Structures are given as C-alpha cells and as structure tokens.
Structure 1
Amino acid sequence: MPNIEGISVQKSNAERKSYVVVGAILSCSSGSQLSRLKMPFSHGVFVKGKPQMNILDFVPNVNIMPFGKCSSLKNPAVASATAANNGVLTPMPCTPVMTMPWIDGKPDKMVGGHPALLNKSTNMCFHCGLIKIEAMGRIWVV
C-alpha cells in the first residue's frame, strides 16, 4: 500500500462479514462460469433497497442457477461423457443439486424467520462442487 503523508496503510487480516442481497455473484469449484443468486419473492427485509437473502435461499434453479459446464466426475453426466471419450474429461452442462441450507449464516440476524446469509457462507453441490459467494450484492455488517 502507498504511503500517504508519512503514514503507511496496511491491509487488514480481519475478516469482513457482509449481508448478502439478491444479485450476489456465486462460483462453483466444478463450474466453468459464475452465476447470480436469485430470489422469486422478497422476505420483506431490505438493505439499502435490495432484498436480503437467508440461509434457506439455496434452491437449485430458483435461487442458485447453473454454472455453465460441470467438470466433476461425481456428476453422472460428466462421468458418462468422459468414459465415452476414452477417459478424457468432458465437461457437461451444470445442473446444480443442493440438498441443505447455506452454512455459516448469521444466527442473531433473522431474515424471514431464518438466519441471514453472509458473504462467508458456503454450500455444497451433490456433485461435490463447493459453492461460494464471490462478489457484489453485499452490504457490510456494522
């Protein structure tokens, strides 16, 4: 970081937590592209005018959309295509399969009766992809 009038600014190692609102960008460790977190209806809680998400906003193809092409061999479509291609990894269209709520919500901040979703929250696809909240849509926790 640059010096400003003799003051050296250091990057903090402290974890910054933020609430997640509709439109946050998601990634999957097995997917080929990013996706956006969606919400068909609001929980009635807004932060800076944006609907706030909770840990139960994990439904595939409702809240969590496909991530392009999946490269996980735990995905039967990828395993089958790879076997048919003489063992050469053959990514196939992503069909996310989540069976549980987001992990690491904020239990002392309820949104629609459930813990608020935070930028550090994660989820796992049944095909072993780690789903994370990457950017945008976040509002910093005070």
Structure 2
Amino acid sequence: MKPALCTGGVIQCSFGTAPVPLNSTPTAKVLINGKPMATRADHIPIGNIPSFGLCSCVANPAVQAATAAAMGTPTSAPCVPVTTAPWQQVQKKVKVGGQPALQQGSRLTCQWGGQISVRFPGQINVYL
C-alpha cells in the first residue's frame, strides 16, 4: 500500500529546478485532512501542474533557443509544463469522481521528456 496523493503534495520534474505543490481539482469532494484527493485527471498544465522553475531538457524549444542565444552553452529556460496525457501508475481500485486515485509512485510525462514524480504525497494517514 502507498500513501494517497492530495492537494499540496509535492511533485518534481526530472528536468525542472524546483519541486512544487500539486493542485488537485476538488470535483468529487473527497478530502484527506481537509485537502482534495488527487486523480488521474489532475494533469492540466498550470491548473494542476505548476511550473517547475527552469527546464533543462534539450528537447524543449525554449531551451534550444536559450542555448543558441548563449552561443551553444547549455542554458535552461522557464518551465512551462506540457502534460497532454493523464498520470500513470495510478491506484485503479480506488476511484474519485470516476477517476483512478493518485498515490506515491504515480508518474506523469511532460511532452519535452521530463518525468514528473511524487516527492511527498501531502499526507501520511491514508494509504491505498
């Protein structure tokens, strides 16, 4: 069993510079310690997934442009997550508003290649 992920849980991108809090959508009113529980559908850039600071992925066009402007010196650019697919490695047996619940170990992929993972689920009382 793994801890359930909720609003305020900390997520990190493998190419980002800063861990950030997840903002889950409180559609089903399932709360853990007063915080909405996160689901597979909580992958909307900026709405659910904030910027991770700076991005260093060379597949990101903004990083390519910043690197070219720095005469080839690898240069990070502001992170704008592009998460077009839902979370993976979700808890399929527990659903919130018809969506599988997120938990420690759930993963999300950014279009530029970054792997977004859970660093802290936001609570340690409810396990799925």
Pick the TM interval, shorter chain. Answer: over 0.9
Q: Cα offset for 1:135?
A: 1.1
Where structure 2 has 5 or more consecutive residues not aligned to the other structure, the ranges are none
After superposing the two structures, state which structure 1 stretch, 108-117 or 35-44, moved more: 35-44
Name the TM-score, length of structure 1 as normaliser: 0.83
Q: Which has the higher strand share?
A: 1
- Structure showing greater radius of gyration is 1
Cα RMSD over matched residues?
1.4
The reply on whether 1:131 has 2:106 as its aligned counterpart is no
Task: Tell me how many residue pairs correspond in the alignment.
Answer: 127
In 2, Cα distance between equivalents of 1:88 and 1:43:
47
> Could you tell me whether the CA contact under 8 Å between 2:32 and 2:123 is conserved in 1?
no
In 1, Cα distance between equivalents of 2:70 and 2:116:
27
In 1, Cα distance between equivalents of 2:121 and 2:85:
23
In 2, Cα distance between equivalents of 1:19 and 1:138:
7
Q: Cα offset for 1:87?
A: 1.2
Residue 66 of structure 1 corresponds to 51
One-letter identity of the residue aligned with 1:127: W
Q: Cα offset for 1:108?
A: 0.7
> Could you tell me whether the CA contact under 8 Å between 1:119 and 1:138 is conserved in 2?
no
Deviations 1:85-139 (A, max 9, x none): 1211111100000011100111110111110001100011111111001014134
Q: Cα offset for 1:47?
A: 2.1
Q: Cα offset for 1:141?
A: 1.1
Deviations 1:55-74 (A, max 9, x none): 11010000000000111111
In 2, Cα distance between equivalents of 1:40 and 1:47:
13
Q: Once superposed, which parts of structure 1, at least 4 consecutive aligned residues long, lie more than 6 Å away? A: none
Name the TM-score, length of structure 2 as normaliser: 0.92
Aligned sequence identity (%): 37
Where structure 1 has 5 or more consecutive residues not aligned to the other structure, the ranges are 1-15
The reply on whether 1:141 has 2:124 as its aligned counterpart is no
After superposing the two structures, state which structure 1 stretch, 36-45 or 94-103, moved more: 36-45
The reply on whether 1:25 has 2:14 as its aligned counterpart is no
Deviations 1:23-61 (A, max 9, x none): 001101111111110135342111232211111101000
> Could you tell me whether the CA contact under 8 Å between 2:24 and 2:37 is conserved in 1?
no
In 1, Cα distance between equivalents of 2:88 and 2:17:
23
